[in-house]
Amino acid sequence: MNNSANKAGTLRVAIMGLGGYATRVAKAMLDSKNAKLVGLISGTPSKIKDWQATYNIPDKNCYNYENFDAIKDNPDIDAVYIITPNGLHHDQTLRVAAAGKHVICEKPMAINAKEGKEMVDACDKAGVKLLVGYRMHFEPNTLEIIRLRDSGEFGEIKFFQGLTGFRIGDPTQWRLDKELAGGGAMMDIGIYSINGARYMVGEEPIWVTAQETKTDPVKFKEGVDETITFQFGFPSGVISSCLSTYSTSNLDKFFLNGTKGFAEMQPSTGYGPIKAWTNKGPLSFPHVAHQTVQMDKMAGIILNGESAQIPVDGKEGLKDLIIIDAIYKAVKTGKKVKIDLT
Ligand code: NDP
């Protein structure tokens, strides 16, 4: 592994895939104290040129999808942040790991648990870290609600509701292509309700039931889900009820209820500001770009072995993929499906 962080302890990052979310991450990284954008991997030469000018990136740190394995010989790059369509994450992660660089991969980490497991194993074998872009795991309102829950403020937790969705536009985009997306709304936005159910409840689900409805089979082809409702059971008896959809606007709400109180968030996972309140009143944390905080924290995890309060490692990403596989199975069979995350 090439672990030559520069003297200031800054994580030097190359972004792979210069699309919409990468643009947001790159801007946010300008304010990061511990991470810096130093390299680019793209299939579009004109974007490379523009980004080089904006972020002052030298030619020697620019790659395309054919030649990026050569990054192994570049001592000026510590980590690659993969921000490409979901269906490409697996192969790209394996290649980055083989090049001896740390991987930060966007959610969903892959398109099924088998791929996810292979990614975790490949990074372990190569001795590099694998982190997933779960920006909400560092968000102050979220962490405060978890602190209040752990302090017993809400009593015994009994119920969680997670509603996440948006109305998807252009029918030709990769998010509606089974090969590149791995599914539909569940892969893209439903994963926030899955992941949120886990960190809000503070337990891992042991079963799931799920139901699908499709109003536009032309736009949402076979294997591309439009709307799925799903319910989890947790070991303590907590239940959750969640909705994942590409058919409504501004659906972004979490609700956690216990024997003594509740917490509610709306918006709960958007880019912010996040709005959160409990039965005792509103929470008020100043808004900071999620991606700036995420990159600062991830630099600490990668360079200094720090840990995240809610994990962001490959094993965490894999858990969500195991659950997604179970949800699709529950939809297909109409049966309650057991989940084993141990
Ligand atoms: P975009 O379509 O905006 O960008 C994806 C980029 O990937 C493209 O611009 C392109 O960059 C590159 N790419 C490589 N191969 C392909 C291909 N075959 N088809 C399309 N693009 C390709 O997507 P997003 O940025 O919105 O999403 C990228 C990833 O980030 C997804 O996994 C998504 O789930 C995740 N995401 C996470 C968010 C979060 O809040 N954590 C928010 C939004 C997205 P180039 O031309 O440089 O090669």
Distance of CA 129 to the CA centre of its chain: 16
CATH 3.40.50.300 fits 136-285+314-338, yes or no: no
CA distance 152 to 149: 5
Beta-carbon count within 10 A of 30 CB: 12
Predicted local confidence at residue 8, as pLDDT: 55
Residue type, 91: D
Predicted local confidence at residue 175, as pLDDT: 98
Counting as low any pLDDT under 50, the low residues of the chain are: 1-7
Q: For residue 157, how far is its CA from the centre of ligand 1 (angstroms)?
A: 37
Beta bridge partners, 103, equal 80, 130
DSSP 8-state symbol, 151 = T
Tokens of 186: 């569940």
Residue type, 274: I
Task: For residue 135, give every residue at least 6 positions away whose Cβ sits within 8 Å of its Cβ, in sequence order, or none.
Answer: 290, 291, 293, 294
Predicted local confidence at residue 9, as pLDDT: 86
Q: Which residue matches tokens 């930060």?
A: 104
The answer to whether 278 and 260 are in contact (CB under 8 A) is no
Domain ranges of the chain: 11-135, 136-285+314-338
Atom 2 of ligand 1, residue of closest alpha carbon: 19
The answer to whether 94 and 122 are in contact (CB under 8 A) is yes
Using alpha carbons, select from 156, 229, 154, 236 the residue that is nearest to residue 194. Answer: 229
Predicted local confidence at residue 3, as pLDDT: 44
Q: Which residue matches tokens 């337990």?
A: 203
Q: For residue 12, how far is its CA from the centre of ligand 1 (angstroms)?
A: 21
Q: Of 23, 40, 41, 84, which is best to mutate to test ligand 1, by the most ligand atoms within 8 angstroms of its C-beta?
A: 84
CA distance 90 to 110: 6
Superfamily, domain 11-135:
NAD(P)-binding Rossmann-like Domain (3.40.50.720)
The answer to whether 306 and 138 are in contact (CB under 8 A) is no
Atom 10 of ligand 1, residue of closest alpha carbon: 17
Question: Coil, strand, or helix at residue 153?
Answer: coil
CA distance 274 to 256: 16
C-beta 166 within 6 A of ligand 1: no
Q: Which residue matches tokens 């109180």?
A: 261
The answer to whether 206 and 212 are in contact (CB under 8 A) is no
CA of 128: how far to CAs of 30, 49, 97, 125, 166, in Å? 25, 29, 6, 8, 35
The answer to whether 167 and 249 are in contact (CB under 8 A) is yes
Q: Of 106, 189, 294, which is best to mutate to test ligand 1, by the most ligand atoms within 8 angstroms of its C-beta?
A: 106
CA of 255: how far to CAs of 160, 162, 218, 336, in Å? 6, 7, 33, 23
Could you check whether 11-135 and 136-285+314-338 share the same CATH topology? Answer: no
* Sheet arrangement for strand 11-16: 62-63, 35-41, 11-16, 79-82, 102-105, 130-132
For the chain, list the strands marked E by DSSP: 11-16, 35-41, 62-63, 79-82, 102-105, 130-132, 157-165, 207-213, 227-233, 239-245, 251-258, 262-265, 276-278, 281-282, 337-338
Task: For residue 341, give every residue at least 6 positions away whose Cβ sits within 8 Å of its Cβ, in sequence order, or none.
Answer: 204, 205, 319, 322, 323
Q: For residue 5, how far is its CA from the centre of ligand 1 (angstroms)?
A: 27
Distance of CA 98 to the CA centre of its chain: 22
The gap between the terminal CA atoms of the chain, to the nearest Å, is: 29
Active site residues: 107, 192
Using alpha carbons, select from 273, 318, 339, 338 the residue that is nearest to residue 123. Answer: 318
